[in-house]
Structure 1
Amino acid sequence: MTEALSAHEYRDLLSAALADAITGDARHPTPHTLFTPDSHRSALYVDNVVVQGGRGVGKTFWYWSLLDETLRSVAAKEYRINRLNRLRVHPGYGLAMRSECYPGPLVLGSLLEAGEDPYDVWYTVLLTALGLPELRDLTEWSAKIAWVRAHPGPAERTIEQADRQAYDENIVHLLLFDALEHLHSDRRQADRLISGILRLALLMRFATRNIRLKVFVRPDMFEAASHHFADASKLSAYSAGLEWTHSDLYGLLFHYLGNEEGDTAERFRTITGGWLPEAAGARHAPPPLLSGDPETQKRVFEEIADPLMGNNVRRGRTYDWLPNHLMDGRGQVSPRSFLESLSTAAETTRTKHPAHERALHHEAIRAGVQQASVRRVKEVKEDTPWVRLAIEPLADYQVPIPEPTVLGAWKDAGLPARLAEEGAQYAQADTPDKVRTGPRDPQDLPRLITELIELGVMTKPRSDGRLDLPDVYRIAFGLGRKGGVPRPKA
């Protein structure tokens, strides 16, 4: 019988397994890290052309996984989507510099300055992926686009022939788009570029049988870009979201622990039982109960972490407490935040509670939530800068806050003028109603509350109308809560 892991061994395993898990888009997926939560299955349907998700939920992970034939084969098997085995996948845009496949940010900027239509840019990228010979001999993207514009007939026939041949061969050409926040430093221009991608995705979805685009995009960017062309609403029927349930998050954790290299991970697999080795041991699939059954997960996790968040059950059970305190107002948890909080908790326990009987001390888990909040607030400031302007005047208040108090704090801080000034740089003189980089109406403060609720930054759960902030935002933004996780010390 295999001896149980000690607290030190679990702590070391956590640190090793999660060391690279929180680095985000810089790390490419491998068989060791490929986890297939049931809730992501629809995102991999070939005909779902839009995959929406916020920061850290797996957009780039699935982009790279679909580009990799080995990982795609694993996903096809575990999701039972045989069509994934019949794909010819092409990169349409991503973080990697691949000028032979698509123009990078600097080139895109120059193309827009020259007056190119974003749709023409991506249409040319598609034709390049399909192997149009005349484009293969041209180096500059401006020349490629000019050729396509001058030869519309051959361009259309290339798509028709590629679609017909793919149908005969029973394959699908799939063009992938990711990292769209890096398309252009000007959000207005980024919206135009994304709109061009979506227009092309819609056309291919309805005009061809075997040519598809799959666009990984943040919800706010999808909403903003959709206002730039007609029929964008049709894409909603072919859209999926990347969401994570509590059991998905713990399944991901155990997947990482079981796929780490070394004897400790092997002993963990033996103790928990039921792991299935694949591809000559390159990947170990966790048993269904460990990857998706809350009761089984709770039992295993309580061998690793304190079962309670204090001296009694009123403080909360750790298994539920952790994801609940990382949840945004829409009930969503970023797996990156979840894994970062556990990584921080392991290091904090090692430093402050080295002799603790379990690998994770409950106070260290609180510190992990604080660190995850810092990262999440940094991300929201980058993604939607106007949120920072709205929440910072509320610092040092304690939630829940009466709505009149919030409105009064905003008026005292001159928030409408500050929001208008922030949004002015994105204003588009001819069609200002199409710009969605800030709140819809900076002067309408009650509506601003509605928008913050839609973003998941704020909630209104109480019948008395008081407003709340989820801990994942509240802590780092500097708001207090009686009996809640304290704000990090400066």
Structure 2
Amino acid sequence: MTIGQGSRHPKPEDISAIREAISRFDPSASTTIVGQDKAKLRDVFAPTAHSKALDPATTLVLGARGAGKSFWASVLYNKDTRRLAGDLYPRLELGKLRVEIGFGGVSRAGVSKDQIDKLVPPGQEKTSAAPFWQAVIAGAALKVTEPDQKHLPKEMLKRFADPQDWADAMAEVDDELTNQGETLLIVFDALDAISEDWGRLSGLIDALMRSVWELRGFNAIRAKLFMRPDQLSELTLRFVELPKLRSGAAKLGWGQADLYGLMFARLAFDEEAAEAFGLFVDAQGLGKPPEKPEELRTWKLSSNKTLQEKLFEAMAGNFMGAGPRKGKTFDWPYNHLADGLGDVTPRSFLILMQNAAERSQSRDSGALILLPQTIRDGLREASKVRIDQLHTEYPWIKRVLQPLAGLRVPAEPQVFFDAWIENATVEAAVKIARKENALTPVPINPSRKSDLSDREPDLAERLAKMGVLTSRPDGRYDMPDLFRIGAALLKKGGVTPKA
């Protein structure tokens, strides 16, 4: 049978194959720079706005949890994905890049946390951290001129006890790279894994930034740091050039078209569903998906929102309810997945779609791949996962959200404060933070015994910085659905916490 534009209704088996492919999306969407979870060719999707993040000249890359920091670090480090990224971003000349790992947070990814703890003992960050990071940088750089030798940080510290020796060795590497027309990029990812103690983490990252900044004197040696924006703002960093570093930073932002493009690209290259997806796309009069990842740049469904909306409405229907009052299926996920800072991440988006597909499999969905009700259910799952992820970094977050369960938002600030006061929330959260050596939920003056009474406004301000709370123009507090649903707050006309 010849397939013409709009001439064929998708077969049930095609619908099922596509739905099953979406249900196979990795719910964690987690990536490590090396190892089993490293970036894979079939998962590479390159939004135009991310070009700056991969540019070797960009030192600092900022992205929220799940925005793709470790994914891009892995893409840059591994040769096959770097080659593909070079095709997708030809201006960056990634083919002339050598990439080494300074720190990656997992085994066989640069220096380990154990090495850091041994060579920079707790309390000695001010004196020992800068020489240590210079030793790590030297170890990565010397692979250019001394490729057959190991360059462990301990050995590098001894070898370059004299700073001039370090400068001379780096200059030799720089000259060699320049002569070969290459650039060395040293990648630092998963920086929160350096230490669980936020005070120590501040000292270590402060020294790392100073060491990286000094590389500006070389022509062909660069470093790239992947960090979360909240890390940058919450850590007590004293690096004097930080404003310059921040001003040149790239942000891993994801627009609505980027996320749907990512989803459709994953379906286009799914080994088991590519054919079914191709037939489905063609049946909507949208042509054929690309056969090679290199063709994603010119595939209209990568970035054209109008065409994306047409395809997704064929997959999930036009509206979230009987009519437009409940919102369009195409817009609804993006609008409800944003945090208080306006960020929507691939992790949350893929979790929503994956969960919706799983639930649609067990229901009579007819010709639809995803049912609107399952999309709402997917938001519930994405909210739960996002709070769980926050809890790993801020172990007090669930204790702070717990007293708010059942509140209806938006609400006056005092409603929040009263709930926290009644449950002694600030005191309990500070206790948890101290036990876990985590960032405290409110500022604490270590030089004197802090009075934690009347600190509820400070707690609200902390949540606002994290994107968990927002303040409306009329002064009332609101909570984005991404957190509200998992925290069991209510909202008129909004998705209820429980299905």
Q: Same fold (TM over 0.5)?
A: yes
User: Which one is further off, 381-390 or 28-37?
Assistant: 381-390
- Partner of residue 145 from structure 1, selected from 150, 157, 171: 157
Gaps of 5+ in 1: 428-434
Contact 2:102 2:186 in 1 (8 A): yes
Cα distance, 1:11–1:28 mapped onto 2, change above 3 Å: farther
Number of paired residues? Answer: 473
- Partner of residue 249 from structure 2, selected from 235, 239, 252: 239
Q: Which residue of 2 aligns with 1:432?
A: none
In the TM superposition, residue 136 of structure 1 has moved relative to its aligned partner by: 7.3
Within 5 Å, give how 1:245-256 maps onto structure 2: 245-256=255-266
* Structure 1 residue matching 2:233: 3-state secondary structure: helix
Q: Which residue of 2 aligns with 1:470?
A: 480
* TM-align CA RMSD: 2.6
* Structure 2 residue matching 1:209: 3-state secondary structure: coil
Contact 1:226 1:232 in 2 (8 A): no
Contact 2:230 2:465 in 1 (8 A): no
- Partner of residue 366 from structure 1, selected from 353, 376, 385: 376
Does 2:18 correspond to 1:13? yes
* Structure 1 residue matching 2:478: 3-state secondary structure: coil
* Structure 2 residue matching 1:124: 3-state secondary structure: helix
Within 5 Å, give how 1:17-28 maps onto structure 2: 17=22, 19-23=24-28, 24-25=30-31, 27-28=37-38
Cα distance, 1:294–1:328 mapped onto 2, change above 3 Å: same
Cα distance, 1:288–1:454 mapped onto 2, change above 3 Å: farther
Cα distance, 1:355–1:20 mapped onto 2, change above 3 Å: closer
User: Which one is further off, 20-29 or 320-329?
Assistant: 20-29
Does 2:79 correspond to 1:69? yes
- Name the amino acid aligned to 1:25: T
- Partner of residue 210 from structure 1, selected from 220, 228, 234: 220
Does 2:273 correspond to 1:267? no
- Partner of residue 463 from structure 2, selected from 429, 433, 452: 452
- Partner of residue 314 from structure 2, selected from 303, 327, 334: 303
In the TM superposition, residue 340 of structure 1 has moved relative to its aligned partner by: 1.2
Task: Quote the sequence identity (%).
Answer: 27
Distance 2:277 2:39 in 1: 19
* Structure 1 residue matching 2:471: 3-state secondary structure: coil
Q: Which residue of 2 aligns with 1:430?
A: none
Distance 1:479 1:253 in 2: 30
In the TM superposition, residue 123 of structure 1 has moved relative to its aligned partner by: 1.1
- Name the amino acid aligned to 1:409: A
Distance 1:307 1:254 in 2: 18
Within 5 Å, give how 1:119-138 maps onto structure 2: 119-131=130-142
Distance 2:279 2:487 in 1: 41
Contact 1:17 1:260 in 2 (8 A): no
Distance 1:468 1:139 in 2: 52
- Name the amino acid aligned to 1:148: F
Q: Which residue of 1 aligns with 2:323?
A: 312
* Structure 2 residue matching 1:89: 3-state secondary structure: strand
Gaps of 5+ in 2: 445-451
* Structure 2 residue matching 1:60: 3-state secondary structure: helix
* Structure 2 residue matching 1:22: 3-state secondary structure: coil
In the TM superposition, residue 447 of structure 1 has moved relative to its aligned partner by: 3.5
Structure 1 segments, 4+ long, off by >6 Å, are: 132-136
Distance 1:364 1:84 in 2: 41
In the TM superposition, residue 196 of structure 1 has moved relative to its aligned partner by: 2.5
Within 5 Å, give how 1:102-251 maps onto structure 2: 102-113=110-121, 115=124, 117-131=128-142, 141-149=153-161, 151-204=162-215, 206-225=216-235, 227-251=237-261
Contact 1:461 1:467 in 2 (8 A): yes
* Structure 2 residue matching 1:91: 3-state secondary structure: strand
- Partner of residue 400 from structure 1, selected from 410, 423, 430: 410
In the TM superposition, residue 460 of structure 1 has moved relative to its aligned partner by: 1.4
TM-score, length of structure 1 as denominator length? 0.89
Q: Which residue of 2 aligns with 1:277?
A: 291
Distance 1:11 1:402 in 2: 47
User: Which one is further off, 339-348 or 261-270?
Assistant: 261-270
Cα distance, 1:18–1:183 mapped onto 2, change above 3 Å: farther
CA offsets 1:402-428 (integer angstroms, 9 cap, x no match): 11111222222223323433444578x
Cα distance, 1:104–1:135 mapped onto 2, change above 3 Å: farther
CA offsets 1:160-190 (integer angstroms, 9 cap, x no match): 1222332333321100011222222333323
Within 5 Å, give how 1:317-466 maps onto structure 2: 317-351=328-362, 353-425=363-435, 438-440=441-443, 444-463=455-474, 465-466=475-476
- Partner of residue 290 from structure 1, selected from 292, 301, 310: 301
Contact 1:7 1:304 in 2 (8 A): no
Distance 2:107 2:241 in 1: 32
Q: Which residue of 2 aligns with 1:82?
A: 92
- Name the amino acid aligned to 2:198: R
Distance 2:301 2:481 in 1: 28
